[in-house]
């Protein structure tokens, strides 16, 4: 067997980025007390829209912006349904996923890509040339670093900013937040939009960097993994990185093992990342969920 550990670790960061992006968005949504199970649907709409926007404009970053917008627009449907029409969040989220899968398939029917479109790898002076650490940490594309910056930003926002405090308050006890005069629905709509934009970015990362092409069902359950990782991380931003990198790591490892032609049926290897996530979820005791998570709220009392 000759799997290069440096390449493996470098690939791990790339493989983890879409899950991390989707999960950090969902984390903010859930901290605001909303359970949006439509991550997979928002991701795949982001993937197809990002692919089309990137390839038709010739600029991959334009693709990411388009994907974020597309994800946010899809999440707006969820926001209107659950926050204003008070539909059940679980059912609406599941519906959003199925809607997104179908919609992306429709949009992507004639999507044409050009082989020249690539997302540039960055190179940092000195840092990128450090042996071992350089290739693992400092030779990735912008989105890998952006995902970590978003995680750090969300952490600081929740911990230090007043808006973050209000968002947590809304997720903890929406009745009390309302009684204190905070606009629960507005906070939640913004959180849902942020979650949608992050899911869109995550999808575009798959279709523009990780795969990179458009095929139906390209997200392959990554949105569900992102949802699981939010619980795994006990709704704490930094722990998301551990969860996402664990899943990404097992994914990359099993791909390498497949390539090595290990004498295990491919199906078992493909199962491995999902299995690993489930096992870890069962083993760790998840922290306390936001107390108002998934509960409907109407500002009439």
Partner 1 sequence: MKLLELQGLTKAYPGVIANSDVSFDIDKGQIHAVLGENGAGKSTLVKTIYGLVRPDKGQMLLEGAPFAPTDPRSARAAGVAMVFQHFSLFDAMSVAENIALGMENPPKTQDLATQIQAASENYGLPLSPDRIVGDLSAGERQRVEIIRCLLQNPKLLIMDEPTSVLTPQEVDILFGTLRLLASEGTSILYISHKLQEIRALCEHATVLRQGKVVGTFDPREMSNRDMAEMMVGKTLTTPKRAAVTTGQPLLQVSGLSAPSPHQFGTSLKEISFTLHAGEVLGIGGVAGNGQDELVAALSGEIRTSDDMILLEDQGIGADGPNARRALGLCAAPEERNGHAAAPDMSLVENALMTAKTRLSLLKKGFIDWPRSRAFAQEVIARFDVRTPSPETAARALSGGNLQKFVIGREIIQNPRVLVINQPTWGVDAAAAAAIRQALLDLASAGSAVLVISQDLEEVLEITDRFAALNEGTLSQAVPTAGLTMEKIGLMLGGAHDLEVAHA
Interface residues with partner 1 (CB under 8 A)? 162, 165-166, 168-169, 172-173, 175-177, 179-182, 288, 290-291
Asked if 77 and 89 touch (Cβ cutoff 8 Å), the reply is: no
Return d(Cα 138, Cα 238) in angstroms, integer.
20
CB of 48 to partner 1, least distance (A): 39
Closest contact distance (angstroms) between CB of 185 and partner 1 is 14
Provide CB contacts within 8 A for 261, sequence distance 6+. none
- For the CB of residue 291, give the shortest distance to partner 1 in the complex, in Å: 6
137 phi, psi to nearest 5 deg: -105, -30
Nearest-approach distance from CB 301 to partner 1, in angstroms: 9
Adjacent-strand bridge partners of 141: 121
Distance CA 141, CA 194 (A): 22
* CB closer to partner 1 out of 235 and 247: 235
C-beta closer to partner 1: residue 127 or 176: 176
Cα(34)–Cα(24) distance, integer angstroms:
14
- Tokens (6 digits) for 114: 């050009």
Query: Of 102 and 172, which CB lies nearer to partner 1 in the complex structure?
Result: 172
C-beta of 197 vs 231, nearer to partner 1: 231
Token output for 265: 């049926």
Minimum gap (Å) between residue 179 Cβ and partner 1: 4
Q: Nearer Cβ to partner 1, position 65 or 158?
A: 158
Query: CA 28 → CA 51, 54, 147, 288, distances in Å?
Result: 26, 27, 14, 15
């Amino acid at each position: 067997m000759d799997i290069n550990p440096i390449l493996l670790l470098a690939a791990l960061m790339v493989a983890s980025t879409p899950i991390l992006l989707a999960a950090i968005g969902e984390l903010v949504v859930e901290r605001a007390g909303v359970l949006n199970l439509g991550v997979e649907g928002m991701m795949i709409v982001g993937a197809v829209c990002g692919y089309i926007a990137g390839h038709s404009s010739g600029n991959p970053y334009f693709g990411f912006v388009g994907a974020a917008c597309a994800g946010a627009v899809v999440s707006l449907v969820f926001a209107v349904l659950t926050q204003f029409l008070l539909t059940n969040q679980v059912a609406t989220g599941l519906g959003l996923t199925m809607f997104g899968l179908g919609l992306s398939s429709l949009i992507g029917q004639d999507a044409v890509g050009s082989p020249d479109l690539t997302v540039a790898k960055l190179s940092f002076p000195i840092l990128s040339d450090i042996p071992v650490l350089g290739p693992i940490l400092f030779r990735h594309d912008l989105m890998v670093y952006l995902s970590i910056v978003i995680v750090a930003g969300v952490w600081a926002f929740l911990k230090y900013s007043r808006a973050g405090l209000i968002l947590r308050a809304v997720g903890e006890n929406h009745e009390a937040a309302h009684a204190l005069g905070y606009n629960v629905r507005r906070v939640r709509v913004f959180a849902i939009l942020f979650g949608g934009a992050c899911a869109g970015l995550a999808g575009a990362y798959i279709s523009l960097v990780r795969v990179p092409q458009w095929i139906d069902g390209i997200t392959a359950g990554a949105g569900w993994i992102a949802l699981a990782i939010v619980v795994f991380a006990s709704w704490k931003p930094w722990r998301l990185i551990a969860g996402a990198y664990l899943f990404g790591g097992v994914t990359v490892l099993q791909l390498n093992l497949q390539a090595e032609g290990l004498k295990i049926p491919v199906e078992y290897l493909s199962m491995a990342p999902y299995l690993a996530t489930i096992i870890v979820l069962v083993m760790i005791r998840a922290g306390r969920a936001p107390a108002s998570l998934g509960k409907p709220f109407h500002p009439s009392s």
